[in-house]
Amino acid sequence: MSKKTGKQSTTHPTIITLTLPTPEGGGIAPERATATLLIQRGDLAHMRQFHYAGMLTDLTTAIREASEALGLLEDNPPVVPDLPAEKPKSTSKRKSKAVQKAVSDDEPTIEIPLKKGTKTVKMSHVKIVGGETDASAYRQAVLLAGRLIDGKLWDGESAIQFKDVYAVAKQMKQLQDNDLLLFSLEDFVDVE
């Protein structure tokens, strides 16, 4: 999106996506759980989390506040520079494998699965510093690292640290890769 001036055109419909917590034990809703609201009009969107206790007033307040925040965002839209032109992809498979093997041979590497292929990164670039540190937690961290790469939040070149892999997995579970652009990398992991 290039620089925009003035208020966003109102010809676009307002799309509200509300994600409510799953009730446990068949009740209406948990006592105080976190719900997510995404409001979008045209190219601009606002996402917020709020406490939901099964009350209609919680939803009404969240929608009103999100609508006001979207209006403020439309009044002062962010300036996002145009993306640089992509380099043409090589047709040679040998060349693409050589690029992936450009990672230092001194340190062990891991293959991070992506939607399209894999990416080789240094093993020290994906760390778990808190919570579970067993093999299944590390596998989960590798899968989450792939989601961060697919969501264009992380490039695999810097080191990231997961405080609690399973909490991050739960946080990212309901998000699509294009939804991740609404967040920063630090919302999910610590950056060294």
Say if residue 85 is exposed, middle or buried (CB neighbours under 10 Å; 0-12, 13-18, 19+): exposed
pLDDT at 24 (0 to 100): 62
In sequence order, which residues have a C-beta less than 8 Å from that of residue 24 and are 6 or more positions away?
30
pLDDT value of residue 50: 83
Position 31 scores a pLDDT of: 63
pTM: 0.46
The residues near 99 (Cβ < 8 Å, ≥ 6 apart) are none
| 160-162: strand order across its sheet | 126-128, 160-162, 190-191
Count of Cβ atoms closer than 10 Å to residue 146 Cβ: 19
CB-count burial class (<10 Å; 0-12, 13-18, 19+) for 107: exposed
Give the pLDDT of residue 105.
Answer: 55
Q: How far is CA 71 from the centre of its chain?
A: 23
- pLDDT at res. 5: 47
- 35-56 tens-digit pLDDT: 888 889 888 888 888 888 877 8
* Domain limits, the chain: 14-75, 93-191
CA distance 61 to 44: 21
pLDDT tens, N- to C-terminus, the chain (192 residues): 444 444 444 578 988 888 887 766 555 555 667 888 888 988 888 888 888 887 788 888 889 998 898 888 888 887 777 777 776 655 545 544 544 555 445 678 888 888 888 888 888 888 888 777 778 888 888 899 999 988 888 888 888 988 888 888 888 888 887 888 888 888 888 887
pLDDT at 4: 47
